Amino acid sequence: KNRVYSFGDKKTDGNSEMKNLLGGKGANLAEMSKLGIPVPPGFTITTEVCTEYNDLGRDAVIGLLQEDVAKSVENIEKSMGTSFGDNENPLLLSVRSGARVSMPGMMDTVLNLGLNDDSVLGLAKKTDNERFAWDSYRRFIQMYGSVVLGMKPETKEDEDPFEEIIDHLKEKRHIQHDTQFTIQDLQDLVYDFKDAVKKRTGHDFPTDPWDQLWGAIIAVFNSWNGDRAKYYRKINGIPADWGTAVNVQAMVFGNMGDSSATGVCFTRDAATGANEFNGEYLVNAQGEDVVAGVRTPQQITHLGSIRWAQLAQIDEEERLKDYPSLEEIMPELYAELFGYQELLEKHYRDMQDMEFTIQDGKLWILQTRNGKRTGAAMVKIGMDLLKEGLLDEKEALMKIEPNKLDELLHPVFDPKALKRAHVIAQGLPASPGAATGQIVFFADEANKFKNAILVRMETSPEDLEGMNLAKGILTARGGMTSHAAVVARGMGKCCVSGVGALKISYKKRTLTVDGKVYHEGDWISLNGSTGNVFEGKVATIQPELAGEFAEIMALSDKFMTMEVRANADTPKDAKVARSFGATGIGLARTEHMFFEMDRIKAMREMILASTVKGRKAALEELLPMQRKDFEEMFEAMQGLPVTVRLLDPPLHEFVPHQLATQKELAEDLHISLEAVKSKVAELEEFNPMLGHRGCRLGNTYPEITEMQARAIIEAALNLKAKGIVSKPEIMVPLVGTVSEYVEQEKIIRETAETVFKEYEDTLEFKIGTMIEVPRAALMAEEIAKRAEFFSFGTNDLTQMTFGYSRDDASKFLPVYLEKGILPADPFEVLDQNGVGQLVKMGTNRGRETNSKLKVGICGEHGGEPTSVEFCYKTGINYVSCSPFRVPIARVAAAQAAI
Ligand code: PEP
Ligand code: MG
């Protein structure tokens, strides 16, 4: 079994197809080597070893790797003409993680590995650059100390232990920037850092390069199970058993002086999708400096630099002096980089996110990957690559992550409100969107407010969870490629970065702009598309879904064979659903219509009635209201089917449980408070979800079914008289036995006949049932003999198949997910192996006795992409989901069919 794969100019074992084994970074490094792109030589330890490490532990895994790693290091030495552990001519290494899919910043990296008190002197002599050598050494101790030896801040208010030492020295020396340190200062830092390590860990900092290397490799494996990585996996649905690969690579240096630089670039704009090469770099710096947002990075292209200067309000003279573009100061290297980005985008047929370093006038490419992007950029890039002929229609569609479309459906600022809004500062438009919320200064306090805006000097990977909870992110430092910007774009979260005018005090929890102080809890608004920061709240409106979004939708329609309907209870929702392309309503929950003020009273009257006559009188009152609801729904969806479900929830949900409201009700209905109380007590159930609900209501109180059936048929006939076509489908909930269904069907048909006679007119309609009790799936052949359609209510079906109460599962599901007892929340992602089998069986058995049976699903799963794919494979006719998920389900349905 091969555990180690080399890449570089001498020997390359892997390629880009091997992402599962080599991780994304390792596979792409191998591929780039093959393409002849200058990549520093190195090797990749496979993801399988990460799993072995988790099983066998440190020593056993080092034993397994020792020989291969030694050989691979030899390869690097040959390629670079240096020697690992040599004091005169030392080879220095970088050690980085690299999972199958990129998890930016979530795992650990160590740079400049191999330095110690002796080799630092060799490096200084060899490069004739003493300052560079000592700067590299102090950075190494800092990174290794933090990543491998656990030298982290002890509390969130504490500073990083190494940064504290740096700040201390700066104060003593009256200087502001790292670049002002003398060689002596850097040497002092190295000794102070090592002292701090000894004090905190009780051990000396390791001097043997091999000890350093094994320590770093193991630390990368450990970081796979770090909190950050775990959380990132959770929100992105990445399985824990994938593991991470480890990439060990020869160091190249961007911090060797003014002919060295390092940067990050994108072949297209990751925020908007525009086809413009862009990125940021720093002269005389190491890669971490660019993304950490500590120094203000410069733009790679001339055009980008001019635009940036405008936003930062910097005039041309200052721009050219302090922030020139790479295109301007190193035109030849820029041209070389431009060539590689073109080559790589064509090769991978997708937008690339690349890292590069220029060491003393030579360009090296350190990494390429498919770039993270916003939902808007995803849609634009997909359609553009199609138009450019790089992708065909199916491939373009497969590039869409359905869930990311959600971002495009979110509100944007109302242009009218924007005109009146007060701009307090301007930053970089790091990730588009509109966010209004209350200021918080710490990521772990993002849940303090329902709508929080996280305000930070810069963000770090530790802040991930808080960034996810916040509505928007605002940073004082950092550019378009800073951690905050990259992560926010990946999450589709609004972010404005690099707002230099912000003065943040974490201690006082204040934000000061132009002398005005804002406190924690104050409202601000961010426009991630322009970089504007506003005081207070700014109103939002629904975005228009035109352009490439509409093109993607049209493309989906071309390939999808399964219908997408919506769950909608009001005419307003129905209209939204229709505008998103729903071809019908798959579930209208009628109970939601009874909660409005004027209706709840009639409803309660009906429930409290002690005789059939009393109940009928109350239902009489409800009839015209229901009829009006249905008329509006049918009209909104005219020509398209509307599935109306009969009353489903237990009646106790409609009666008041508080004394004051009970009193009011008693007065309203002219009955005694005692009568109300005793009725409420009578309706009390031990397991309401398994109690008197669904068709059990309609079978015990047939008057209810009768009233609802009448309202539906009358509404449709009234519209028919106006020339409006409606296609009602009446759905019986919670059926478990054939007779339950047959009883309800009989009432509906008889009622329809009566209404037809009264109207002297008729109309086509369907009657069917929900399949949400396991027994119904088992009895599907029998039920399908009578029912015209099935709709799987996978919410209840999941509840009853697992035996997990929908209302109580939150008590244990988080623990189950954390421990890996369940792979995903079954109420969100359909459990294909269990509940899914009932869906499959129910569908197949139903069609055995009724070949025309129409089958749909209307649980929450109807809008979840993997569940949609399952439905397609099962041969279901339609999925039905909430209106805002309709576009997502359409793309998922098209992808399933491709
Ligand atoms: C279901 O159970 O899946 C369903 C759609 O019905 P409800 O969520 O209203 O119980
Ligand atoms: Mg249900």
In three-state form (DSSP H/G/I as H, E/B as E, the rest C), the secondary structure along 395-411 is: HHHHCCCHHHHHHHHCC
Give the integer Cα–Cα distance in Å for 138 and 262.
19
Closest C-alpha among 76, 134, 145, 82 to residue 110: 145
411-540: which CATH topology?
A: Glucose Oxidase; domain 1 (3.50.30)
Asked whether 653 lines ligand 1 (CB < 6 A), one says no
Q: Give me the chain's average pLDDT, please.
A: 92
Q: How far is 700 from 696, CA to CA, in rounded Å?
A: 6
Return d(Cα 294, Cα 292) in angstroms, integer. 6
Q: What is the dihedral of CA 712, 716, 719, 720, to 10 degrees?
A: -160
Please give the positions annotated as active site.
Answer: 483, 858
Q: Which atom of ligand 1 is nearest to the CA of 792?
A: 3
The residue extents of the domains of the chain are 52-57+75-250, 261-373, 411-540, 560-650+685-897
pTM of the complete model beyond 0.90: no
| Nearest ligand 1 atom to alpha carbon 793 | 3
Q: What is the pLDDT of residues 130-179, one digit of tens each?
A: 999 999 999 999 999 999 999 988 877 777 899 889 989 988 999 877 77
Ligand nearest to the CA of 827: 1
Q: Ligand 1 pocket, 796 CB below 6 A?
A: yes
14 pLDDT higher than 80: yes
Which residue, 891, 784, 795, is CA-closest to 841? 784
Per-residue pLDDT tens digits for 231-262: 888 878 888 889 999 999 999 999 888 899 99
- CA pair distance 867, 391, nearest whole angstrom: 26
- Quote the percentage of the chain above a pLDDT of 90: 68
Query: What's the pLDDT tens digit per position in 512-526?
Result: 998 899 999 999 999
Distance 693 CA to ligand 2 centre (A): 10
Q: Which atom of ligand 1 is nearest to the CA of 733?
A: 6
What ipTM describes this predicted complex?
0.99
Tell me what the mean pLDDT of segment 39-54 comes to.
Answer: 95
Angle, nearest 10°, between helix axes 612-636 and 702-721?
Answer: 40
> Is 272 exposed, middle or buried, given 0-12, 13-18 or 19+ CB atoms closer than 10 A?
middle
The Cβ of residue 811 has, within 10 Å, a number of other Cβ atoms equal to 10
Q: Is 569 in the pocket of ligand 1 (CB under 6 A)?
A: no
Q: How confident is the model at residue 591 (pLDDT cuts 50, 70, 90)?
A: confident
DSSP 1-62: ---EEEESSS-----GGGHHHHHHHHHHHHHHHHTT-----EEEE-HHHHHHHHHH-HHHHH
> Which-ligand-closest: CA of 587?
1
Q: What pLDDT, on a 0 to 100 scale, did the predictor assign at position 326?
A: 97
Average pLDDT estimate for 27-43: 95
Please, how many CA atoms are within 13 Å of residue 745, restricted to the half-sphere of its CB? 20
pLDDT band at 602 (very low <50, low <70, confident <90, very high): confident
Q: How far apart are CA 410 and CA 540, in angstroms?
A: 9
**Does the pLDDT at position 852 exceed 90?**
yes
> What is the 8-class DSSP label of residue 833?
T
Helix (H) or strand (E) holding 235: helix 227-236
Span 93-97, average pLDDT: 94
User: Cα(770) to centroid of ligand 1, in Å?
Assistant: 9
pLDDT at 593 exceeding the cut of 90? no
Q: Is the pLDDT score of 407 beyond 90?
A: no
Compute the residue count for the chain: 898
Q: Which residues touch 898 (CB under 8 Å, ≥6 apart)?
A: 394, 397, 398, 559
Task: Quick: pLDDT tens for 636-662.
Answer: 999 999 999 999 998 888 888 888 888
434 lines ligand 1 (CB under 6 A): no
Given pLDDT bands bounded at 50, 70 and 90, which one contains residue 292? low
Q: What percent of the chain is helix, strand and coil (3-state, nearest 5)?
A: 50, 15, 30
pLDDT(629) > 70: yes
Residues sharing a CB contact under 8 Å with residue 665, sequence separation 6 or more, in sequence order: 604, 608, 655, 656, 676
pLDDT of residue 105: 67
Q: Domain 560-650+685-897 classified CATH 3.20.20.60?
A: yes
| DSSP-derived secondary structure for 404-431 | GGGGGGS-EE-HHHHHH--EEEE-EEEE
State if residue 860 touches ligand 1 by the CB under 6 angstroms criterion.
no
Index of the ligand 1 atom closest to the CA of residue 795: 3
**How far is the C-alpha of 441 from the C-alpha of 102, rounded, in Å?**
28
Bridge-based pairing state of the strands 434-440 and 503-505: unpaired
Alpha helices in 432-564 (DSSP H): 464-469, 483-491, 547-559
Q: Please state which architecture CATH assigns to domain 261-373.
A: 2-Layer Sandwich (3.30)
The separation between the first and the last C-alpha atoms of the chain, rounded to the nearest angstrom, is 36
Q: Is 858 in the pocket of ligand 1 (CB under 6 A)?
A: yes
- Tell me the HSE value of 685 on the side-chain side, using a 13 A CA sphere: 13
For a mutational test of ligand 1's pocket, the pick from 585, 589, 827, i.e. the residue with the most ligand atoms closer than 8 A to its C-beta, is 589
Kindly indicate whether the domain formed by 52-57+75-250 is annotated with CATH number 3.40.190.10.
no
Q: Quick one: average pLDDT of 444-456?
A: 93
Q: How far apart, in Å, are the Cα atoms of 620 and each of 659, 730, 884? A: 28, 20, 35
